[in-house]
Amino acid sequence: MQSEPSPASGAKAGAPIELDLHGDVAGLAAALINIESVSGNERVLADAVEAALRAIPWLAVHRDGDAIVARTGLGRKERVVLAGHLDTVPLPTAAGARGTVPISWEGEILYGRGATDMKGGVAVQLALAATLEDPNRDITFIFYDHEEVAAPKSGLGRLLRNSPEMLAGDFAILLEPTNGTVEGGCNGTTRYAVNTHGVAAHSARAWMGTNAIHGAARVLQVLSDYEPRTVAVDGLDYRESLNAVRINGGIAGNVIPDACEVEVNYRFAPDKDIQGADEHVLGLFEGFDVVRTDGAGGARPGLQHPAAASFVAAVGREPKPKFGWTDVARFSELGIPAVNFGPGDPLLAHSDDEHVSRAAIHESLDALRRWLGGESTTSRSAGIAQ
Helices 43-54 and 120-131, interaxial angle, to 10°? 20
Give the containing element (helix H, strand E) for 126: helix 120-131
Residue 219: phi and psi, rounded to 5, are -65, -50
Instruction: Please identify which of the residues 42, 47, 66, 87 carries the catalytic annotation.
Output: 87
What whole-number distance in Å separates Cα of residue 238 and Cα of residue 185?
10
SS3 state of residue 79: strand
Q: Rounded to 10 degrees, what is the CA torsion of 123, 124, 130, 133?
A: -170
Active site residue 78: no
For β-strands 104-106 and 289-296, DSSP reports them as unpaired
What secondary structure letter does DSSP report for 112?
S
Angle at CA of residue 107, ends 103 and 109, nearest 5°: 55
Cβ 63 vs Cβ 4: under 8 Å? yes
Distance CA 67, CA 368 (A): 22
**Rounded-to-integer distance, Cα 17 and Cα 46, Å:** 10
Indicate which residue of 138, 147, 183, 327 is catalytic.
Answer: 147
Sheet holding 289-296, edge to edge: 241-249, 259-268, 188-197, 289-296
Distance CA 281, CA 329 (A): 21
The verdict on whether 133 is a catalytic residue reads: no
Q: Phi and psi for 81 in degrees, rounded to 5?
A: -105, 125
Rg (CA), the chain: 23
- The catalytic residue positions are 87, 147
